[in-house]
Structure 1
Amino acid sequence: MENPFALNGKTIFITGAGSGIGRATALQCAGLGATVHITDLNEETLAETLGMLEGEGHQMYVANLTDDDALQELVSKLPKLDGFVSNAGIIKTILTQFGERSDVERILGINTVAPIRLTQILLQNKRFNKEAALVYTSSMAGVFNGAIGNGLYGASKSALVGFVKSLALELAPRKIRVNTVNPGITQTNIYNNTTITPEQLEEEMKRYPLGRYGRPDEIASAIVYLLSDATKWMTGTNLLIDGGFSLQ
């Protein structure tokens, strides 16, 4: 029986691949037979990811995804794609009344505007093969729940969901599928430079029915599922992966 989850012969492009979910996704894609093209702003961690990939033919590109000129240059180097994973993002917790315009512009600029602009440029340069799969890393935040101090992050991630719904309809005639994964808190370094303390994270973990946070490889497995031929009849879907948090 042919494995519907295999990625043999597919070319996949992944952003934010220097660590966390992006790195885990790159490792799984390569392990399942894909040729992987990865990008991140951090050259050192990106090179580490590249060195961990199984197989040959993989490529890395250091790029600032918030700069249109950099996006144009990046896309010009890419081959035709069977899969695109928009994963790069940041988080900042701040009460709405203490936020500045710079906070709004930075968080939405990286989490929302950059993925949309990159998608536009990929489409304008005809980089997607027919029946390609696009996957965006959103979040349970803003889409399935709210949290104090999480308004800007939630807004940036829920905006992606709205974008994906329309994009899925636009690309359906070409049999290109567009979906999101919506993780709960996942054990990555995204929380290292926030005001959230380790003690607060430990306390928050108790609210998860399965008793722990997610792992990057678990979110990556869901992304690979959406990239694979096993989901050729799924588009416009928000795949929630939250350890049961939203059940409460």
Structure 2
Amino acid sequence: MFNTLVVAGASRGIGLAVASHLAPKSRRLLAVSRTLAPIGEWVSADLSSLSGVEKTAKAVGSDVLDAFLYMGGTWETKAFTREYNFEHCSDEDITRVIGVNLVAPIRLVKSLLPALRRSANPKIIFMGALSGRDNFPAREVANSASKFGLRGVVHALREELRSQQISITVINPGNVGTPEVLEDLAQNALLGGKAIPLNDLLNIIDCILSLSRETCLKEIDVAAMLGTGA
């Protein structure tokens, strides 16, 4: 049984699935999101702002934080569809994507480190994307840049936190079979081919959380067998 877990981006999609999966395994699960999260203890916070980051750290308080899972993410308007066009992306779109996908997780790790240090086996897990991998054929400029940058954050933090044995891992999936993604694929409204079964991704997260403090699991790339990037 985990003590306290923080799942960011827990109101829908992957974040909601992860929060639902982990809530029965933890004494306290903080579900952080802008819109209502139906699982765990909802922390209403816009993580693209400093106030949202501070609110999350305050909610953790003096707890023992066993894991911080940043499952949040956003992308440009019409991303991953045939209608995407970089020149039509607004400056607001670009700033929002970089802020949520890259700046927010950096700020959150910094604010949550004191609580993570109280754990006997602290874990940090970031949800990246195959589009952040080298030479991946994605067209979404801001999203790809943010996910590529997230990998750099993880590698740098690993060196920074190595002496404290705080584990940090980035998972880079293709399409993940959340209800929203499966519906879009069925309507041929989403590129990338088949989706990874959601349960497979949850099993990977379970594996990471179960590892001892002696193990360093850096990056995991996960593609659907019949999807782009396999």
Distance 2:143 2:180 in 1: 12
Contact 1:14 1:85 in 2 (8 A): yes
Q: Do residues 85 (structure 1) and 69 (structure 2) align?
A: yes
5+ long unaligned stretches in structure 1:
1-7, 51-58, 206-211
1:224–1:69: structure 2 CA closer, same or farther, 3 Å change rule? same
The equivalent residue for 1:24 is 17
The equivalent residue for 2:209 is 227
1:204–1:159: structure 2 CA closer, same or farther, 3 Å change rule? closer
The equivalent residue for 1:14 is 7
Contact 2:165 2:213 in 1 (8 A): no
Q: Do residues 66 (structure 1) and 56 (structure 2) align?
A: no
Q: Do residues 103 (structure 1) and 93 (structure 2) align?
A: yes
Partner-residue secondary structure (3-state), 2:172: strand
**AA of the residue aligned to 2:103:** V
Partner-residue secondary structure (3-state), 1:66: coil
The equivalent residue for 1:127 is 115
Aligned pairs, number: 218
Deviation at 1:98, TM superposition (A): 2.9
**AA of the residue aligned to 1:87:** M
Contact 2:223 2:229 in 1 (8 A): no
Deviation at 1:156, TM superposition (A): 0.8
The equivalent residue for 2:29 is 36
Distance 1:130 1:9 in 2: 10
Deviation at 1:104, TM superposition (A): 1.7
Deviations 1:148-170 (A, max 9, x none): 53221111111100000010111
Deviation at 1:30, TM superposition (A): 2.7
Quick one: percent identity of the two aligned structures?
22
Give the TM-score of the pair, scaled to structure 1. 0.77
Distance 2:26 2:56 in 1: 23
**AA of the residue aligned to 2:9:** G
Distance 1:32 1:118 in 2: 23
Contact 2:175 2:224 in 1 (8 A): no
Question: More deviation in 149-158 or 224-233?
Answer: 224-233
Deviations 1:12-51 (A, max 9, x none): 11111112211221222234455322111112xx0x223x
Give the TM-score of the pair, scaled to structure 2. 0.83
The equivalent residue for 1:75 is 57
1:215–1:197: structure 2 CA closer, same or farther, 3 Å change rule? closer
Contact 1:145 1:246 in 2 (8 A): no
The equivalent residue for 1:187 is 177
1:74–1:32: structure 2 CA closer, same or farther, 3 Å change rule? closer
Partner-residue secondary structure (3-state), 1:10: strand
Deviation at 1:105, TM superposition (A): 0.6
Question: More deviation in 147-156 or 128-137?
Answer: 147-156
Partner-residue secondary structure (3-state), 1:60: strand
Contact 1:16 1:88 in 2 (8 A): yes
5+ long unaligned stretches in structure 2:
none
1:110–1:197: structure 2 CA closer, same or farther, 3 Å change rule? farther
Distance 1:64 1:247 in 2: 32
